[in-house]
Structure 1
Amino acid sequence: MTTNTQNKHFDLHTTGFGFFNRVRRVTPAKGDPYWAVTVAACRGDENQKTYFECSVVGTKAKALFDEHLSSVTKDDKITASFKLGDLYPETFVYGSGEKQGQTGVTLRARLLKITYLKVNDEVLVQAQQQAAGEAKPSQDAA
């Protein structure tokens, strides 16, 4: 058995289509400000959703947030096809509500790429040709 010792890291990418919620600019006490978003990714036959807390890291994705998403409100409907990387779970403890004191799990990821972006009824980005295996928006979800 041969082992590849050249590989310094491994890639884990997730592609999908879903809704962008809680678009926000985060200004940490130390470090540079960055964009963050909650992605409600569509899955299954019954319009189920899986939520990802994402920091926006892709150069073109950051530019799209600067240009098109810096002034959105919570009432705007934002749909997108995306690629996430470096997915990992993180636990937390509910501070209030019916689950107060219980442990919960959130999925964290880095938003790498946006291939389709629609805000309300206006398509702002639509890649000319999507790579094989990348999620394409369905007519039902948009």
Structure 2
Amino acid sequence: MTTSSEKSYFDLHITGLGYLNRIREVKPKKGDAFLACDIAALNGPSDKPEYRRFDVRVSGSEAQHLIRRCVPAVEAERKVLIGFRLGDLWTDIFTYSKGKRVGEQSVSLKARLLFVSWIKVDGQLVYKAEPKASEESARDEAPSVSSEPAVQDAPASETVSDDEAAEVPALAESF
């Protein structure tokens, strides 16, 4: 009998699209500083979407690089829409310390931002991730399975077409 010391995990991922807000460096009392942001994810019918707010920790060097590149656009209050994959969803109960709801408790949805599949600034596609070799071979074997369901489910005005994506080789320098 062979024993393995390798740990296995059950992954729970959330894919979608949403507006990027509040990009910030968080410096906790204990532990290392980290990059965080809010995502107002679109949910429901495309003609009347609702928003689900996620407070996320940006994980991985590629995602951090991409989110940092969005700081000037977000600070200029431009509409920054991203395709994303989140992991490790959890909730945090907090108490409002100011404003109309001071003293009230509420819940915050927290997660790790694992992957950014595309970025649009004011409706203009500025970044599209290159598919990985394993994703390309999986797509060739099973063409009916989409590797980016969030883009397919996007409202017509926010959908990234293959032709549009092919024109954008990498992160544009314009934003």
TM-score range, shorter chain: 0.7 to 0.9
Match of 1:138 in 2: 155
Per-residue CA deviations over 1:2-49 (Å, capped at 9, x if unaligned) read: xxxx75432110000110011122234554432111000000012100
Distance 1:133 1:141, change over 3 A: closer
Let me know the Cα RMSD of the aligned residues.
Answer: 2.5
Secondary structure of 2:63's match? helix
Change (3 A) 1:12 1:104: same
> Which residue of structure 2 lines up, in the alignment, with residue 9 of structure 1?
9
Bigger strand fraction: 1
Sequence identity percentage? 32
1:71 aligns with 2:68: no
Query: Is the 2:123–2:158 Cα contact (8 Å) retained in structure 1?
Result: no
| Structure-2-length-normalised TM-score | 0.67
Q: Which amino acid aligns with 1:14?
A: I
Shift in alpha-carbon separation, 1:94–1:114, aligned structure 2, 3 A:
same
Q: How does 1:1-142 map to 2 (within 5 A)?
A: 8-45=8-45, 46-66=48-68, 68-72=69-73, 73-128=75-130, 131-132=146-147, 134-136=149-151, 137-141=154-158
Q: What TM-score does the superposition give when structure 1 sets the normalisation length?
A: 0.81
Structure of higher CA gyration radius: 2
Please give the secondary structure, in 2, of the residue aligned with 1:135.
helix
Shift of 1:140: 2.9
Conserved 8 A contact 1:80-1:114: yes
Deviations 1:30-70 (A, max 9, x none): 5443211100000001210000000100221012123x224
- Please state whether the residue corresponding to 1:101 is helix, strand or coil: coil
Higher relative contact order (CA 8 A, sep 6+): 1
> Which amino acid in structure 2 is aligned with residue 21 of structure 1?
N
Q: Which amino acid aligns with 1:90?
A: D
- 3-state SS of paired residue (2:150): coil
Structure 1 unaligned spans of 5+: 1-5
